[in-house]
Structure 1
Amino acid sequence: MRGTVLVARMDNLGDVLLAGPCVRAVAAGAERVILLTGPRGRAAGDLLPGVDEVLTWCAPWIDPEPPPVTQEDVDGLVRRLRGLSLDAALVLTSFHQSPLPLALVLRMAGVPWIGAISEDYPGSLLDLRHHVPGDPPEAVRMLSLARKAGFSLPSGDNGGLAIRRPLPPVDGLPGPGPLDEGYVVVHPAASVPARQPSAARSAAIVKALQAAGYRVVVTGSPSETELTREVAGDALDLGGRTGLSELAAVLAGAKVVVAPNTGTAHLAAAVGTPVVSLFAPVVPASRWAPYGVPAALLGDQHAACRDSRARICPVPGHPCLDLVPPEDVVEAVGHLSRGSSRRRGPR
């Protein structure tokens, strides 16, 4: 299949990063790849190798704070898509999301061939209705759709996560300094509260790492500066001081990244840095744990919240993460920093 192919992944930064292997496979066989993202994933889309253009639209059936559905908004997307003269489209979704609303919009825009993973009967909305058995990692699941559609990764691409290189210099940031000095990044926040430890637990992890002799850098988005300030203590607080590409560069210079199930963990994987994953089991770790790099999974994977997809922890005290001993994090960081080989991009 050649021509112009649209790949859609409409949710968060981490989801878009995990779509990277699928995108690269499509790019290896298409003349042009257009990535359609939601506003929460746009910045990651700009970093993916193989993407020629990124479009953004907020899907009301996927975004956690959805806008009203209006004919004007949908008609506007249809016009934009029709103007692209698309030859095909792949709609990427998580297991609990439906590709069919977007497939309908794509049909209205005249897209002649559409593929997606779908458990629901698609009628005439899909030309390829792909089924993925079991519980594979999300990156593998999405790549399987590209392969079913006739796209393959190029020779030498190992199917791991990746972002565009070179990364921007971060020597001007206060603290990281020369990247060969090494440090541990602690990223305390996640997109929903159920997936992140309490500020007190994250602060205890920072102190334990410092007591073990590690230099610690705390990272976060501009909306997370209050949290990073509380967590960092006297460690370096880069909360709100980096865009996504600068954050990637900081992660690339780290020995290990400590993070909950959030986009930053996947960004660390995309730059080849080992991850200590503080993973709340509200979604399956088999699908969403850091992919393609050495990782240590901490947190009670059999807690009462398991597979609930809860956004707010339903169990008092958030025990699946807040009972993780800081000493276990220090031990995992030591193991990963001593014993892992670093991977740098697809190979």
Structure 2
Amino acid sequence: MSRRVLAARLDSAGDVLLMGPAIRSLAAAAESVTVLAGPRGRAAAELLPGVDEVIEYNAPWVDLEPPELTAGGIDNLIKQIQDLRLTHAVIFTSFHQSPLPLALVLRMAGVGHIGAISVDYPGSLLDVRHQVPDDFPEAERALSLTAACDFPAPAGDDGELAVRRPLPDVTELVGNGDYIVFHPGAAVPARRMTAERSRRAVRALADAGHRVLVTAGESERELGRFVADDCAQPLSAALDFATLAAVLDRARVVVVPNTGPAHLAAAVGTPVVSLFAPVVPAVRWAPHRVPKVVLGDQQAGCANTRARECPIPGHPCLENISDTDIVSAVADLSHSAAHGPTQRGGRP
């Protein structure tokens, strides 16, 4: 019997990118793969190889700014899922999230086989209740779930993150010269440097001889311009997710907090200087299988708190990273990119 699979990941773009290898495992053994994504993750889902269709639902039990839960919204979601005529569903979650609310909806929609990682007792909501050790890298955690659901990784797949190619041509945007990218923003304030600290880091990189492009999301244009100051080029306009991927793809190194563009850089194979606040563990969330240097005090008092606002005065885990450390990390990764094997595989 052919298998029509729903892969659900209802949170942010970086989270969706990290399930990319698992999506390829589903696609290798399924007739079709539909991704159910939240509004923050849809653009990333559309870039994943192996995805045939993306549908969107803003889940009140997942989103950072949760909408009201309504019977009408659930009824509409059930109808969308029924129309897909699914045979299987795999629910991907972070370690602190429960798959059971969505599993209930999928059961109501008539999905016959549902798998997820669940600490909580699922009753009849799950056919596969998978469990994994703590501190498992997120992409490997997702792959272990698809294997448990009888979708093993295809032979020859390297398990790296990837995006659909070709990517947009961004030559007019970035020019022909060599550059590095500094991305100062993050949806969670505790995971990013202050604007002032980011601006000083960009100036240090420019003083070290680097051409620096500063990227920023639609809501972060002012931040991008402030950080770029008069020594870097801000790219805060016209950067949809695929265009951002293309900009990161051509960069020599990306300097970025623990946020979606860090995982997008990994997905296009560009080395990453990860400005990593330890509110979540780096072993789970650092850029996956790409040359990287992780900076930031991983033993700071905020470690593993999942705090959205830094609970420690002065935000020392990131603010105390020195310009010298950032410049040295970029130099080390630039040397690796120039002399080591290429990391830019990608997949069509």
Could you say which TM-score interval applies, normalised by the shorter chain?
A: over 0.9
Any idea what the Cα deviations from partners look like across 1:243-296, whole Å, max 9, x if unmatched?
111111110111100000000000000000000000000000000000010000
Q: Is 1:127 aligned to 2:127, yes or no? A: yes
Task: State the shift of 1:154 in Å.
Answer: 2.5
Q: 2: CA distance between counterparts of 1:271 and 1:9?
A: 21
What SS does the corresponding residue of 1:313 show, helix, strand or coil? coil
Choose the corresponding residue for 1:315, options 308, 312, 316: 312
Which position in structure 1 is the counterpart of 2:214? Answer: 218
Please say if residues 5 and 88 of structure 1, whose CA atoms lie closer than 8 Å, have aligned partners that are also in contact.
yes
- Identical columns (%): 59
Which position in structure 2 is the counterpart of 1:109? Answer: 109
Choose the corresponding residue for 1:331, options 324, 328, 333: 328
Task: State the shift of 1:17 in Å.
Answer: 0.4
Q: Which residues in structure 2 correspond to 1:147-296 (within 5 Å)?
A: 147-173=147-173, 176-178=174-176, 181-234=177-230, 235-296=232-293
Task: State the shift of 1:202 in Å.
Answer: 0.7
Q: 2: CA distance between counterparts of 1:304 and 1:345?
A: 38
Gaps of 5+ in 2: none
Any idea what the Cα deviations from partners look like across 1:186-218, whole Å, max 9, x if unmatched?
000011110000111111111111111111000
Any idea what the Cα deviations from partners look like across 1:2-22, whole Å, max 9, x if unmatched?
421000000000000001011
Q: 2: CA distance between counterparts of 1:193 and 1:343?
A: 30
Which position in structure 1 is the counterpart of 2:118? Answer: 118
Please say if residues 267 and 346 of structure 2, whose CA atoms lie closer than 8 Å, have aligned partners that are also in contact.
no
Q: Which residues in structure 2 correspond to 1:79-98 (within 5 Å)?
A: 79-98=79-98
**TM-score by structure 2 length?**
0.97
Please say if residues 276 and 296 of structure 1, whose CA atoms lie closer than 8 Å, have aligned partners that are also in contact.
yes
Q: 1: CA distance between counterparts of 2:346 and 2:132?
A: 24
Please say if residues 269 and 346 of structure 2, whose CA atoms lie closer than 8 Å, have aligned partners that are also in contact.
no
Which position in structure 2 is the counterpart of 1:100? Answer: 100
Task: State the shift of 1:134 in Å.
Answer: 3.1
Any idea what the Cα deviations from partners look like across 1:291-337, whole Å, max 9, x if unmatched?
01000000000111000000011111111000100110000000001
Q: 1: CA distance between counterparts of 2:238 and 2:318?
A: 27
Q: 2: CA distance between counterparts of 1:316 and 1:345?
A: 42
What SS does the corresponding residue of 1:166 show, helix, strand or coil? coil
Any idea what the Cα deviations from partners look like across 1:92-141, whole Å, max 9, x if unmatched?
00000000000000000000000000010000000000000131110000
Please say if residues 268 and 346 of structure 2, whose CA atoms lie closer than 8 Å, have aligned partners that are also in contact.
no
Task: State the shift of 1:346 in Å.
Answer: 5.5
Q: 2: CA distance between counterparts of 1:345 and 1:312?
A: 36
Task: State the shift of 1:182 in Å.
Answer: 1.9
Aligned-pair RMSD on alpha carbons?
1.1
Aligned pairs, number: 343
Q: 2: CA distance between counterparts of 1:332 and 1:48?
A: 29
Please say if residues 163 and 346 of structure 2, whose CA atoms lie closer than 8 Å, have aligned partners that are also in contact.
no
What SS does the corresponding residue of 1:172 show, helix, strand or coil? helix
Please say if residues 161 and 345 of structure 1, whose CA atoms lie closer than 8 Å, have aligned partners that are also in contact.
no
Q: 1: CA distance between counterparts of 2:18 and 2:108?
A: 28
Q: 2: CA distance between counterparts of 1:171 and 1:215?
A: 15
Q: 2: CA distance between counterparts of 1:170 and 1:156?
A: 31
- Output the amino acid matched with 1:207: R
Q: 1: CA distance between counterparts of 2:245 and 2:311?
A: 32
**TM-score by structure 1 length?**
0.97
What SS does the corresponding residue of 2:120 show, helix, strand or coil? coil
